[in-house]
Each structure stands twice: as structure tokens, then as C-alpha cells.
Structure 1
Amino acid sequence: MTLDQFKAARSVLQGVIRTTNLIHSPALSKSCGNQVYLKPENMQVTGAYKIRGAYYKISTLSDDEKSRGLITASAGNHAQGLAYAAQAAGVPATIVMPTTTPLVKVNNTKDYGANVILHGEVFDEAAEKATQLAQEEGLTYVPPFNDLQVATGQGTIAYEIFQDLPDVDVILVPIGGGGLAAGVSTLAKLLNPNVTVIGVEPEGAASMKASLEAGHVVTLPTANTIADGVAVKTPGDLVFPYVQKNVDHIITIPDAELVEAFLDVMEKHKMVVENSGLLTVAALKHLDFQGKNVVSVLSGGNMDVITMASLVQHGLIIRGRIFTFSVLLPDRPGELMRVSALLAQHNGNIIKLEHNQFVNINRQNGVELKVTLEAFGQDHKQEILNSLRSEGYSVHEVKTADFYN
């Protein structure tokens, strides 16, 4: 990938993609001690950065390659990008997607006119099927990340970052197969060799980190993460040398931190960002420096409503803003009122209440009261629980797995 190739890609994409201007985040800046800017590719055409690489790749294909029809494998965002680009070029496209792909991504891909095949539980299994179909039916395979022209298209993100923030110090970029990281890091280093590029992977699918440590591409036994867009067991061997050369290091993130990052972005910036795009937000807490200009690339925002609702619920639970407790009460009039008054005194807002008189035959502890409350956070939650205990109640906090499953 050369500077001239990146310039050619930028020219092809002009007028096709949306320029996603950086958004300064005072809240995230304060939390990590750096000046944080978000690169909102969740606002891109098709809802993710993938349109860049897919559209540019198709522009480089011969008429014969296009006439045979296109095929690819994707966890969702490349699928939509390729389907959109193929429709614009008047070329038929077939997309093989894992069966675990969120419904919103499947439906959006179909809406762009592509034929969708669901196969396998992870990207790698879908990719094997797509490769097989390409050979059997003579289709032109367009890789989602392991292709230098695709990676060149993705790398145009770096042009926009430097245009908005010429003195950027650090760029955080999500890594799945490595195409985005290869493109962005390579162009970023060409524009400013002193810029630091940090890749971010989920702990359960850190295939690039494992490959870099081994010095060659390796395959993980599993890719287990809620960040479906980067659930890749084997990174691309063609883009690997560019990541190896231009990505300074990698941070890995546990899934639980993505849940909190979702709340941060939604509440502070009113944006929906999918789990793979939240990796770079979660990574801000892991930075070992301060006072830098940091750009977090939000790679996409294609999240289905059910997943969104689950993230909100679990995020509120993690932060102590929703919790459930149970307590055994004497079976006599007024006990429920007594507990309710105590909760009101401490500003606990009741969401759900279950009052069961048939727990046991001991009327001194014969009623189980199970209450779900809204609180202001962990400190307020502990204040409420402690107040109940100080009044002589034996309180048991009901954990998420116990109550919501």
C-alpha cells in the first residue's frame, strides 16, 4: 500500500462515502486524562466503515470479474458495504454470513439487493463456504479484510482524521481480521511517522495479538465475544505484515467493559455504536499516558434493537443503577409498608415488586419480598441495602444471572 494508492482510493470514494467529522468528547477526555475525539464511522453510509474498502475494491475489478457476479463472507458490515457497492455498479452479489449475525445486518444486506446465505457460527466458517461457492460457481470473491485494495479503501479514514486533527498523537482502531488496522496504520505512518497507532481486540477473539506474539499468523481455537464484527479466529495473512510494521501495540478488552462503553457513548453522545466499534472507547481506560490527542475509531453502528436493550439493561446493573434484592418478612400487616417507606426515604425507585406469602410455614419469616430498584449508582445502592440491614432485615442481593435468566 503506497501513498499514491491511498490517494487513488480517496478520489474514487469522493462523493460516495460520508465524511465522518471528529467529535470531541469532554466526558471521555476527563475520564482518561487525554483529549479524546471520536471518529463516528457508525454514521457512515451503510452504518460502518466497510463501504470504503468494498466500493474501492469493486472499482478496481475488470468487467469480466464483475460480470461473473461477486461473493464474499462477512459478519455483517462488509456484507452491507459490498451489497451497496455492487448495487451501485449494477453487479449481482452473494453474501455468506454466520448464523449468529444480528438480524438488522442480515435484513439491511438483503435490502441492498444481495442474495444472503447464512452458514456457520463464526466468520471463518462462513468464509470457507463463500470460497467454496466462488470456485464452484465461478464467482469473483471479494475478501472482507485480507486484501490490500480493500485495506487501502479502509485506510482513507486516516486522511479525514488528519484533516480534522493535524496534531493527532494516538489513533485507536478495532481489529478483527486486520484490514482496517492495516489500512489506517499504514496511511497514518505515511502522513506522520511519529503518530502512535494502537489496535484493540476483544479478549475472547484476540487473534491478531496472538499472531504478533508468534511472529506469524495463527488460528485461535475459538472466537468468543459479544463483538460479532471482530469475531475472527484467523487474521489476514496479506494484511498481517502491515499491521506488524505499523501498529505499535494491542490492547485487549473483556466483553463486560463493552457494555459500559455502550452506555458511555449512548448517554454522553446520543449515538448507537455496535460492540466491535466500542472496543476503542473501552480501551481509553487502559491507556498508560495522559495529555495526548487521542482518536477512537468507532467502526460501525449496526446493532439490532434486542441486543441494544440487553446492553442497556446489563450496563445499568453493572453500574448499580438497577439492582434486585430479596428479604424475608414476618407475615403480618404493615411489613410491606414499612419496607416501602424505608426505600422511599432513601430515594429508591421501585421498578418491580414480588410479594410471596407461601415461601414457608414459619409466619415469622413466611413472606419473601423481592424488589427491583432504580438507584443513582453503586454508592446509592449500598446506602439502600445498608439502611435495610440497619433496621434488622436480612437482605440478599439477587445477581443478574439469578434474576434475569
Structure 2
Amino acid sequence: MTELTARDVQDAAANLEPVTARTPALSALSLDQAASWPVVCKAENLQRTGSFKFRGAYHHASSLPAQERARGLIGASSGNHAQALALTGRLLEVPATVVIPADAPAPKVEGVRALGGRVVTYHRGSEDRDALVADLATQGGLAIVPSANSRHIMAGAGTVALELLAEHPEIETLVIPVGGGGLAAGSATIAKHLYPGIKIIGVEPEEGADTLLSMRCGQRIALPEAPVTIADGLGHSSPSPLTWAVNSKLLDTVVTVTDQDITTAMAFAFRHLKVVVEPSGACALAAVLRGLIPHESGTIGVVISGGGVDLPTFQRLIDHPAHRKARAHV
């Protein structure tokens, strides 16, 4: 792959403009006070299908030769990319198959089926999802749409930062969750092009710090075991090759947050920003609230990447004694 460029992201923005929602940038005085700096949050939980993933999935699939995509699309995901792929298939009028963990959150699976996607489940730890995807693709002549490891996926995801920085050019530090790495790679590419001095901080769950450990080692590494974290969308064992090539050069640093940090951020977003955020989507905000972001001046930009969580799970995660105590003082 040739180097990902700002032009790739700008071209993706033009392609996506008719089909994506221009999500709002949220702010609150209480958030500024908690962070000790002005903060704006790009609310991709309000994107179509509930996460930023639709941007990359649609851009990748719509960029395929028509004859290739007409046979159908297939991809693997813990849920958000799956819903994005299902909607993409619906809009492009081609069948979409998604391979999802058997324990994926029910709303995400139901969302795929509601959009007309075919669901194939697999068991984490005992089945190789990539091999399953490859087999199904070969059998059906389907085009694989990766969740992160694609130039078009990265470019589409990078439109999140392009929109945010267009509205808030005063941002001096951009904080982004890192799972497969597509969002971080695309966002860092366009952000560093527009504002070379901007800092890009990646955030991972403590139990799934594959990008952080890879950066420390200077090469891609694989975690010895599959990560166990409530941030299921960020539970990757190793960075994707293409995203790693970008992120290893452009991310200024990567920090980690605990599951408790994440649920605290979810509760904070609900109370003060009036939005429902899934665990993976709350990681960047969690790092800001914990004071983990190296920042010296200006505004902090935060990407809230998704909102795919059902009500019982959301209530269970935020119903912690510390959160109840905080509510009592609001």
C-alpha cells in the first residue's frame, strides 16, 4: 500500500457527504472543569448505525469495482463494523454477511439483522474468525471489507477528525480510541496535515494494550491471550499491519484506561453531555477525565466513537457506588 495521505481522507469526505450524518461536537462547562482544559467531543455515537464505523465501511465498499461488490460483501466484527457493513450493503443494494462473536452485545446483532445483514457467529478463543471469513468469501465469491486494515477504511474513518477540526481549529490535542487502529490512523493523517503541531493521543483499554506495547517494542506484537475488557470493540490482540504502519509514525503517545475509568466516563457523558456511550466509545473521554493526557495549552478534542449498548447493560455498568455518590452531588 502506498502511504495514506490527506487527499485520501478529503476524497473520502466527498464520497461520504451524501450518506453520513455530520455528527455534533459536544461541550459542557462541567467537562471543562473536570479536565482543567476546554474540551469538545465528536459524538460519533450519533452517526448512522451508532458509530464511526459506517464511514469506513461505506467508503471501502463503494470504492470497489461494481462487478466485485455485486456478488456481496463480508466482514468480521464484534458489532459496530457489522452494523455498518449491513447498512452499506442495504444502501448499495448488495448482500452483506457479517461474522460476529457469539457473545456480541444483542443490540448490535439485532441491528445487523434489522438492516438485512446475514449473521454468522463464531466462538472467541476456539474458532479463527479470519479463517472463517476467508472460507465464506471464497465459497460465495464475496468481497471482504476489513474493519480497519484497509486504505479506504482508514480514509473514511479519518473524516471524523476532518469534520471536528473544521469546526474547532483551536484543538491542540486530539484524543482517539484505538482498536484495530483505522480511526486513529485516518484521523492522525488528516490532523497532522492540517496542523503539523497537533498532538494525537491514542487510548486503549488496559487489558488490550496491543498498540501501546507494540510502540514500546518498536514493532507489531501479539498479546499472549485474547483481551478481556468491557470495551469489546477495542479488544484486539495485535495492531492491523496497515494501521500500524501509520500509527507507529503519527501517534504521539498511547495511554490506557481501566474498565472502571470507562464506566465512570460513560456515567459522566450521560449526566453532563446527555448522551449514551458504549464502553469502547467512552475510552478517549475516560483518559481525559483521569488526567492521563499530556496537554499544555488550547482545547482538547475527544472522539466518542460509538453508542452501541443496550439499556440493561448500560444501567449495570454505570450503577456503581462511586457513580451513585457522584450523582448525589450534582
Q: Identify the TM-score tier after normalising by the shorter chain.
A: over 0.9
Task: Give the C-alpha shift of residue 301 in structure 1.
Answer: 0.4
Q: Is the 8 A contact 1:217 1:234 kept in 2?
A: yes
Report which stretch shifted further, 3-12 or 43-52.
3-12
1:329 alignment partner in structure 2: none
Deviations 1:281-331 (A, max 9, x none): 1101212435430011000001012211211222xx134639xxxxxxxxx
**Secondary structure in 2 aligned to 1:294?**
strand
C-alpha separation between the residues in 2 aligned to 1:123 and 1:19? 40
Quick one: which of 68, 91, 94 aligns to 1:91?
94
2:78 alignment partner in structure 1: 75
- For 1:310, the aligned partner's letter is R
Q: Is the 8 A contact 1:146 1:237 kept in 2?
A: yes
User: Superposed, which structure 2 residues align to 1:275-354 within 5 Å?
Assistant: 275-284=279-288, 285=290, 286-314=292-320, 317-319=321-323, 321=325
**Secondary structure in 1 aligned to 2:58?**
helix
Q: Is the 8 A contact 1:145 1:178 kept in 2?
A: yes
- For 1:80, the aligned partner's letter is Q
- For 1:242, the aligned partner's letter is V
Deviations 1:120-158 (A, max 9, x none): 227994333212321333211110001111110000112
Task: Give the C-alpha shift of residue 3 in structure 1.
Answer: 2.5
Quick one: which of 250, 257, 261 aligns to 2:254?
250
Task: Give the C-alpha shift of residue 169 in structure 1.
Answer: 0.2
C-alpha separation between the residues in 2 aligned to 1:225 and 1:107? 22
- For 2:278, the aligned partner's letter is E
1:10 alignment partner in structure 2: 13
1:369 alignment partner in structure 2: none
1:113 alignment partner in structure 2: 116
Deviations 1:46-83 (A, max 9, x none): 11001100111111101221122111001111111111
C-alpha separation between the residues in 2 aligned to 1:160 and 1:226? 28
C-alpha separation between the residues in 2 aligned to 1:188 and 1:289? 16
Deviations 1:184-204 (A, max 9, x none): 011111111111000000001
Q: Is the 8 A contact 2:6 2:189 kept in 1?
A: no
Task: Give the C-alpha shift of residue 8 in structure 1.
Answer: 1.4
C-alpha separation between the residues in 2 aligned to 1:71 and 1:157? 24
Q: Is the 8 A contact 1:217 1:235 kept in 2?
A: yes
Higher-RCO chain (CA-CA 8 Å, sequence separation at least 6): 2
2:208 alignment partner in structure 1: 205
1:376 alignment partner in structure 2: 328
C-alpha separation between the residues in 2 aligned to 1:124 and 1:211? 25
2:235 alignment partner in structure 1: 231
| Alignment CA distance shift 1:224-1:124 (3 Å) | farther
- For 2:95, the aligned partner's letter is P
Does residue 57 in structure 1 map to residue 60 in structure 2? yes
2:145 alignment partner in structure 1: 142
**Secondary structure in 2 aligned to 1:238?**
helix
| Alignment CA distance shift 1:123-1:31 (3 Å) | farther
Deviations 1:93-129 (A, max 9, x none): 1000011210000000111111001112279943332
1:41 alignment partner in structure 2: 44
Quick one: which of 261, 273, 276 aligns to 1:272?
276
2:69 alignment partner in structure 1: 66
Structure 2: gaps spanning 5 or more residues? none
User: Superposed, which structure 2 residues align to 1:118-137 within 5 Å?
Assistant: 118-121=121-124, 125-137=128-140
- For 1:24, the aligned partner's letter is S
Larger Rg computed on CA atoms: 1
Quick one: which of 190, 195, 204 aligns to 1:192?
195
C-alpha separation between the residues in 1 aligned to 2:296 and 2:176? 18
Q: Is the 8 A contact 1:35 1:292 kept in 2?
A: yes
1:371 alignment partner in structure 2: none
C-alpha separation between the residues in 2 aligned to 1:135 and 1:71? 11
Structure 1: gaps spanning 5 or more residues? 323-374, 378-405
**Secondary structure in 1 aligned to 2:300?**
strand
Query: Identity rate of aligned residues, in percent?
Result: 34
C-alpha separation between the residues in 2 aligned to 1:290 and 1:275? 27
**Secondary structure in 1 aligned to 2:269?**
helix
| Alignment CA distance shift 1:288-1:183 (3 Å) | closer
Deviations 1:239-270 (A, max 9, x none): 11100111110010011111111110001111
TM-score when normalising by structure 2: 0.94
C-alpha separation between the residues in 2 aligned to 1:71 and 1:175? 23
